[in-house]
Amino acid sequence: MLTRIACLLALIASTLHAEDAESLFVRRVWPLFQEKCLACHGNDEKKIKADYDMRTYESATKGGESETKALVPGKPDESPLYLASTRQHEDWEPMPPKEADQLKPEQLAWIKEWITSGAPWPDEAKRNVIAKASAEKWSAEDGITVKVVGALSPEWANRRYKPESLWGYQPVKKPVLSNQPSVHPIDELLAVKDPAPAADARTFIRRATFDLTGLPPTPEEVEAFATAYDRSNPSDQTDLIGTLIDKLLSSLHYGERMARHWLDVVRYADSSGFANDYERGNAWRYRDYVVRSFNADKPYDQFIREQIAGDALLESDAGTPARNDASSAGKSARITPNSELLIAPGFLRMGPWELTGMEVAKVARQRFLDDVTNSVGETFLAHSLQCARCHDHKFDPVPTHDYYAMQACFSTTQLTEREAPFLKEENTAGFEEKKHLETRRAEHMAVLQRLDDKLLQNAQKWLADKKLDSAKWNAAVTQAKKGGGKNPKKGFSDVFGTARQILTKQGLPEDSFPPKLVGFEPEDFGNERVARKGLERLKWEMERYEPYAFSVYDGVTIPMVTVYQPLRMPGDRMKNGELEQTAILGGGDPFSPTAKVKPGVLSIFGSVEFPEGIEGRRTALAKWIASKDNPLTTRTLVNRLWLWHFGQAIAGNPNNFGSTGKKPTHPELLDFLAATLVEKNWSIKEMHRLIMTSAAYRRTSFPTRSKTDESENSSYATFTPRRLMAEELRDAMLSITGELNPTLGGIPNRPEINIEVAMQPRQVMGTFASAWVPNPLPQQRHRRSLYALKIRGLRDPFMEVFNEPAPDFSCEAREVSTVTPQVFSLFNGQASYDRALALANRVLKEKAADPIVRIFTLAYSRQPTADEKAACEAHWQQMIAKQTTLTFAKTQPPLEIRRDAVEENTGEKFSFQEKLPGYTDFVPDLQPADCDAKTRALADVCLVLLNSNEFAYLY
Amino acid sequence: MNAPFFPCAGSRALHAPTRREFVYGLGTSLGSVALTSLLAAEQKSPLAPKPQMVPAKAKNCIFLMMEGGPSHIDCFDPKPVLEKLHLKEFTREGKMKSAMESGKRYYVKSPFKFAQHGQSGAWMSEPWQHLSKVADELCFYRGCQVDSVNHPTAMYQMNCGNRFGGDPAIGSWVNYGLGSVNQDLPGFIVLPEISYPQGGSANWGNGYLPAHFQGTALRAKGSPILDLQPPQGITPEHQRANLDLLGKLNAKHAEEHPWHDELKARMNNYELAFRMQMQVPEVIGLEKEDAKTKEAYGIGTDATDAFGRKCLLARKLVEKGVRFVQLYAGTWDSHDYIERAHGNLIRQVDQPIAALIADLKQRGLLDDTLIVWCGEFGRTPDNGVRGGTAYGRDHNPKAMTIWMAGGGCKAGHSIGSTDDRGMEAIEEVHHVRDLHVTLLRLLGLDDNKLTFYHGGRFKQLSQIGGQVIDKLIA
């Protein structure tokens, strides 16, 4: 302590030579001002805070609205500039305001020393001279500058970076290994001291099976593996593990599991979010594309190229071999579209997006551009590019120019649902459910017809009340009725509206014929709205069964006002619109373009040739990203893979390799994996093999040391256990009850979710979204959770409480929290009770020799101990006594539901009946009423097991 | 109950940070480390109360969210000039035009008469029959502006600071900053309409904050908390027996994994939940309130019953130490028939709100409780001819009225103003982020200190920092 005080005193006392003080300013103080102060105190003249401008010595000295001199040369303790920075002085607000931005003691000392030494402030020219003269010396000590293009200020361009904060940009350097065959390269690089031994066979097969398929192993698989493993010597055990991994990698469920991880990152959902939250009827084809790609072990570089520019690859005829043998014989003139390549760029549209009449179209377009720019950065490059949207990046060498250069790659990218015949690999089963949507459409049409009739009646009454001549009106009505009265534009009956139009066109005064919606009651307003908007919403839902891809094309930007139905390809995509000229946007505002920007990439990597026409921009971007020499790309992927196996990434923020993200704990290992990925032809399956055969992955989770011995969690001395993800929990339950329908892919299914949430009215623009009606058949409902319809505005509460991420932001790693609603969901909820009953029923129906043993092997992959067995047996008996006294009625699904709402036009309450035709052929899961007391009592035991910690955690 | 009830002791992100947990935990983020360092080491619960960062009166907040965009022009910001302009054609220029503003547009006068009330002379329209009686408790603010003209994005911005959703709601931030004095109830409770607003429950989501800070919606219909009760026919005794078996299995498992601390948290959670399902119905029931109080809130009267119940429940919850209660009423999106629509809506909330203010005051709770009334934006002085001769108003992000009561706000004042047509704020104009910073300050929180490290940077409610609107603070 004493020495510290002495040092501080020495610091305070010191005054520097004039030259040194100037150097201190140029080297330390001015850059500090740049970084911490000038954003509010000078950079934007219009927005200078507290009237304090720090751009020049004069203004910085003068002070701001406090009218106190801010800088007193020689006297730091009388200089508010310094005092505010200390955050300790009661007269001065702490600066910078954000606590997280506060100056470090070292930085404060620089300011203090500089003021003590007279606060010299060389002008820009002199600053450059000083900087240039000392460049070499400082560079060694302070970090390095990097060359980028288009920085907004020379200071930013000359900013110095600590080399360690630029780790992500360095070329991948494969470490030299000892090449001892007995040491796995990963283990050599982890260099774990005092490692725990390998996990036992049962633990390992459970771990590996969940990790690669998201499902538990069957008791038979466990038994076979464990028996063989326990009989083998270590070398054969290694072979057994290799065989197991190969088997799991060849399971089609592998692709589903990896897709779950990937879709977290890209924010997959089946709806648009925001006001309308329209369904994205064909988004499922992208989801299945991802599953197929992982299952096929598509080289990752190709996977990137397809998602960024598949449509362009197709047009340049450089597509994948998986060509569609389309039966589109009638369209022989055209090249058969390779649907896969049209589906893949759905990635670019995964963010929430819509354009309603309430929004400015240009703003909405810009939202898409910002979203896709950032998404590409986060997903493939571990760069949160949005930080450079309004200014040069605060911490990373990404000028705002780079942001817009990347954005320019998408300025000719247009949204479309484009024709793409179904591939034979795609699951097109279940389309017959469309009939329920057609029923709903017919009902909406009928309501509109009825209301039209009502309006016509009300019109007569209105005319009579006003004592107006009805002749012209009646003539208009007669005319409107010709052709069935259907308004072709609207697609439904609107005689009343058409008649009004006729008279308006004739130039009749507005008050001489009935007004819009004449005589409507609150209920009529509501019903009309629900039906009209309902028809609109159905267009999106019907898209699900159509051979269209949720995709993009290159072209000019065609003016749009609203998007209320799927967007088809325009006749000529090069005409009738604007060729967008990307520019740096002041404050990110699309109405404040400044300097024009050409398409490009992160300029720290040097320049890349880019086409500037309409086509080819994304292809060039994809080529740059998917290059073996792009160190961000390869590191980003292997870092994610590591996270998916170990629950923690090597670089702790998988979406952010910038200086604010966590640094890699094992940089050499990360580079080894990145280099290996390229060597293995970008094969992801090879990477799993590599990672999973390491001793680190095979280790037990039991610590070898005493509990008091604390080590870093990144030491990998033990394997870190994890709670199952929401989807794994549900899928595992379905799997052990035998209910799981393992079919791959296809249109989204609708499992039963909490019925109150399913029936909950939900406002969407101008109406209510329709209720969540589950699929009629159990096998349709019991698909893997990956396939459940994912609506942004309606989350399955079970998934939500178990930390399923919301699809608004990219999820780099799942959170795991333990909150009470999880208990309500898993212990009280209908779904888990149904599973418990199904498990009990399965075991009893199988006539298992010992039901309790069977349940344990299914749920835990092991036999019960004698105590456990006794406790469960006793409970079963006790519950039989209890259940015998209970009777259960069969529940009937609701065929319609009353909706209570406040009507927008009138502010009055109104209610309507929503029909639920989807429930007409509903077959419920096994119900308590179907089972005897013995089964129900065993279900109590099963429910307990499904809720137990051993089931929820993976070791 | 000794143990915290809703936010259980067990989140890895939050409970007392033994190093062990970081050793064996998963996905621990730097954010949670930062947070745990915020917590005193001996504090067991993530929601343990924490001292205010700056001295302030308000300890709780009742946030009255008038979803849909109430019209300032027809509630609290009279524009007599519109009488003259009524039905005169109006043209909107400029780039920010959306389809909403297409076609012919006309000025629309307010259908309501205005009068001044209380010593402060606050302007209110005629339908505010009850609120006008507590006019001097209110601090009106007419300078707020938001970025979005569309409901869900504006709702997200008002509730969470970010237009695009996914960020923590104010109630989450407040609980993160202050903790909760009642460990047996969630610290952030939402009383939504039967139909959820546009944007759904993300309006009260915890965003990147740990899940304990999520708003708990007490649903207006059906089970107030989802799956609060076991399936029908399962008695508490029956469930207790199941829990006992669960306890046995878990105890054995924990014995075999003594180093795995999460297990204990998860076990405790089941016991907490079991107690909760007994107690919550009583906590949120209004049966024991006396008839007079219920009548004062308008409970039992058709128009005011629903919101009256919410207001009374809000008072009960605040009394029990719930930090942040948000009430929804709507939809105020009156594009047509403003007289009918707004007239009805005002009548539905007027008496309950006035009763709430009076009740809190009488119980000495108003000083501790900040009440905020607002929508996601205001409305325009003009309208298209959507409903023929029906008059309404469109969305207006540039002008709105917000009012506050209690909790150290500047009661009896009107701060800021809009132009003579109510089109745009012109005096004491602030972006909504400054309002957020001010609300936090009224609750003793400093937006610049209330940050959370996520995705590689420190994030805050105001997004980029803002300034306190001093004039709103007494």
Nearest to A283 by CA among A748, A727, A743: A748
Q: How far apart are CA B281 and CA B277, in angstroms?
A: 7
Q: What is the mean pLDDT of residues A826-836?
A: 96
The answer on pLDDT for B18 being more than 50 is: no
How many Cβ atoms are within 10 Å of A2's Cβ, its own excluded? 6
Grade residue A3 by pLDDT with cuts at 50, 70 and 90.
Answer: very low
Q: How far apart are CA B312 and CA B436, in angstroms?
A: 25
* pLDDT tens readout for residues A182-237: 899 999 999 998 899 999 999 999 999 999 999 999 999 999 999 999 999 999 99
Within 13 A of B147's CA, how many CA atoms are on the CB side?
A: 14
**Rounded to 5°, angle at Cα A824 from A819 and A827:** 115
What pLDDT shows up at residue A83? 92
The sign of the CA dihedral B221, B226, B230, B235 is: negative
The answer on pLDDT for A248 being more than 70 is: yes
The answer on pLDDT for B137 being more than 80 is: yes
Query: What's chain A's Rg over C-alpha atoms?
Result: 33
| DSSP-derived pairing of the beta strands B430-431 and B144-145 | parallel
Please indicate if any CB of chain A lies within 8 Å of the CB of B106: no
What pLDDT shows up at residue B201? 85
What pLDDT shows up at residue B281? 86
Grade residue A863 by pLDDT with cuts at 50, 70 and 90.
Answer: very high
Chain B residues closer than 8 Å to A375 by CB: none
Grade residue A137 by pLDDT with cuts at 50, 70 and 90.
Answer: confident
How many Cβ atoms are within 10 Å of A666's Cβ, its own excluded? 18
Residues B168/B160, Cβ–Cβ less than 8 Å = yes
* pLDDT tens readout for residues B309-359: 999 999 999 998 999 999 999 889 988 888 988 999 999 999 999 999 999
Could you tell me which residues come within 8 angstroms of residue A607 by beta carbon, excluding any fewer than 6 positions away?
A149, A600
What pLDDT shows up at residue A336? 40
* pLDDT tens readout for residues A298-326: 999 999 999 999 999 887 654 443 333 33
* pLDDT tens readout for residues A419-470: 999 999 999 999 999 999 999 999 999 999 999 999 999 999 999 999 999 9
The answer on pLDDT for A327 being more than 50 is: no
Chain A residues closer than 8 Å to B24 by CB: 701, 713, 718, 720-721
Chain A residues closer than 8 Å to B270 by CB: 823, 827, 947
| DSSP assignment of B142-196 | --EE-S-SSHHHHHHHHHHS-TTS-SPPHHHHHHHHH--S-TTS-SEEEE--SSB
| DSSP assignment of A7-73 | HHHHHHH----HHHHHHHIIIIIHHHHHHHTTTTTTSSGGG-GGG---SSHHHHHH-STT-S-S--T
Average confidence score pLDDT of chain A: 91
Residues A882/A937, Cβ–Cβ less than 8 Å = yes
User: What proportion of chain A, given as a percentage, has pLDDT over 90?
Assistant: 72
Q: What is the dihedral of CA B444, B447, B448, B449, to 10 degrees?
A: 50
Residue A890 CB burial class (10 angstroms; 0-12, 13-18, ≥19): exposed
Q: Is residue B279 part of a domain?
A: no
The answer on pLDDT for B22 being more than 60 is: no
* Beta-carbon separation of B11 and A707 below 8 A: no
The DSSP bridge partners found for residue B395 are B379
Element (H, E) at A642: helix A631-646
* pLDDT tens readout for residues B38-88: 333 334 567 788 999 999 999 999 999 999 999 999 999 999 999 999 988
* Beta-carbon separation of A904 and B341 below 8 A: yes
* Mutation target vs B (from A101, A512, A823; most B CBs, 10 A cutoff): A823
The sign of the CA dihedral B459, B462, B463, B467 is: negative
What pLDDT shows up at residue B134? 97
Q: Is residue B41 part of a domain?
A: no
Chain A residues closer than 8 Å to B305 by CB: none
Q: Which of residues 350-379 of B touch A (CB under 8 A)?
A: none
Residue A70's alpha-carbon distances to A53, A57, A61, A67, B400, in angstroms, are 10, 10, 5, 9, 38
Closest CA of chain A from B121, distance in Å: 28
Q: What is the mean pLDDT of residues A114-125?
A: 91
Nearest to A776 by CA among A923, A927, A925: A923
Give me the phi and psi of B222, to 5 degrees please.
75, -150
What pLDDT shows up at residue A9? 43
* pLDDT tens readout for residues A531-575: 999 999 999 999 999 999 999 999 999 999 999 999 999 999 998
DSSP A423: P
Nearest to A652 by CA among B26, B35, B168: B26
What pLDDT shows up at residue B268? 84
Q: What is the dihedral of CA A139, A144, A147, A150, to 10 degrees?
A: -100
Please indicate if any CB of chain A lies within 8 Å of the CB of B251: no
Q: How many CB pairs under 8 A join A and B?
A: 341
Three-state SS at B281: helix
Nearest to B150 among A356, A794, A827 (CB): A356
Chain A residues closer than 8 Å to B5 by CB: 820
| DSSP-derived pairing of the beta strands B324-330 and B188-191 | parallel
Chain B residues closer than 8 Å to A647 by CB: 26-27
The answer on pLDDT for A713 being more than 60 is: no
What pLDDT shows up at residue B262? 83
* Beta-carbon separation of B344 and A906 below 8 A: yes
Residues A662/A172, Cβ–Cβ less than 8 Å = no
Residues B4/B184, Cβ–Cβ less than 8 Å = yes
Residues B193/B67, Cβ–Cβ less than 8 Å = yes
Q: How far apart are CA B403 and CA B445, in angstroms?
A: 20
Please indicate if any CB of chain A lies within 8 Å of the CB of B101: no
| DSSP assignment of A566-622 | PPPPPS-TTSSSB----EEEGGG-TT-EEEE--S---GGG-------SSSSHHHHHH
The DSSP bridge partners found for residue B117 are B122
Closest CA of chain B from A317, distance in Å: 38
Closest CA of chain B from A475, distance in Å: 21
Please indicate if any CB of chain A lies within 8 Å of the CB of B154: no
Nearest to B26 among A656, A662, A722 (CB): A722
Closest CA of chain A from B268, distance in Å: 10
| DSSP-derived pairing of the beta strands A767-769 and A762-764 | antiparallel
pLDDT higher at B233 or B58 = B58
Structure tokens at A350: 């995964």
Chain B residues closer than 8 Å to A863 by CB: none
* Beta-carbon separation of B200 and A793 below 8 A: yes
Chain A residues closer than 8 Å to B336 by CB: 904-905
* Mutation target vs A (from B22, B24, B26; most A CBs, 10 A cutoff): B26
How many Cβ atoms are within 10 Å of A894's Cβ, its own excluded? 16
Q: Give the amino acid at A901.
A: A
What pLDDT shows up at residue B409? 97
Q: CATH number of the domain that B400 lies in?
A: 3.40.720
Q: How far apart are CA A650 and CA A662, in angstroms?
A: 9
What pLDDT shows up at residue A145? 86
Residues A185/A689, Cβ–Cβ less than 8 Å = no
The sign of the CA dihedral B373, B377, B378, B384 is: negative
Chain A residues closer than 8 Å to B17 by CB: none
| DSSP-derived pairing of the beta strands B122-125 and B114-117 | antiparallel
How many Cβ atoms are within 10 Å of A609's Cβ, its own excluded? 8
Nearest to A592 by CA among A25, A46, A1, A5: A46
Domain residue limits at B384: 60-101+121-224+290-450
| DSSP-derived pairing of the beta strands B324-330 and B60-67 | parallel
How many Cβ atoms are within 10 Å of A858's Cβ, its own excluded? 23
Structure tokens at B324: 């942040």
Q: Largest Cα–Cα distance in chain A? A: 104
Residue A615 CB burial class (10 angstroms; 0-12, 13-18, ≥19): middle
The answer on pLDDT for A332 being more than 60 is: no
Residue carrying structure tokens 């629950």: A647
CA B335 to chain centre: 24
What pLDDT shows up at residue A13? 45
Nearest to B61 by CA among B147, B196, B223, B177: B177
Residue carrying structure tokens 């929820």: A952
Q: For residue B205, what is the nearest residue in chain A, using CA coordinates?
A: A806
What pLDDT shows up at residue A485? 65
* Beta-carbon separation of B451 and A98 below 8 A: yes
Closest CA of chain B from A850, distance in Å: 19
What pLDDT shows up at residue A7? 45
Three-state SS at A764: strand
Most trustworthy range by pLDDT among A816-825, B253-262, B416-425: B416-425
Please indicate if any CB of chain A lies within 8 Å of the CB of B17: no
* pLDDT tens readout for residues A660-703: 889 999 999 999 999 999 999 999 999 999 999 999 999 999 87
Q: For residue A49, what is the nearest residue in chain B, using CA coordinates?
A: B467
Nearest to A820 among B68, B276, B334 (CB): B276
The DSSP bridge partners found for residue B141 are B402, B415
Q: Which of residues 277-306 of B touch A (CB under 8 A)?
A: 277
What pLDDT shows up at residue B13? 31
* pLDDT tens readout for residues B428-439: 999 999 999 999
Nearest to A720 among B26, B348, B386 (CB): B26
What pLDDT shows up at residue A155? 78
* Beta-carbon separation of B245 and A872 below 8 A: yes
Residue B344's alpha-carbon distances to B68, B302, B339, B349, in angstroms, are 14, 12, 8, 9
* Beta-carbon separation of B225 and A822 below 8 A: no
Q: Is residue B5 part of a domain?
A: no
Q: For residue A715, what is the nearest residue in chain B, using CA coordinates?
A: B23
Residue carrying structure tokens 């915890």: B206
* Beta-carbon separation of B241 and A879 below 8 A: yes
Nearest to A155 by CA among A21, A24, A29: A29
Chain A residues closer than 8 Å to B152 by CB: 273-275
Chain B residues closer than 8 Å to A719 by CB: none
Structure tokens at A945: 């097991």
Nearest to B385 by CA among A888, A500, A424: A500
Q: How far apart are CA B348 and CA B345, in angstroms?
A: 5
The answer on pLDDT for A354 being more than 60 is: yes
The DSSP bridge partners found for residue A215 are none
* Beta-carbon separation of B241 and A882 below 8 A: yes
The answer on pLDDT for A334 being more than 90 is: no
How many domains are there within chain B?
A: 1
Grade residue A14 by pLDDT with cuts at 50, 70 and 90.
Answer: low
The answer on pLDDT for A330 being more than 60 is: no
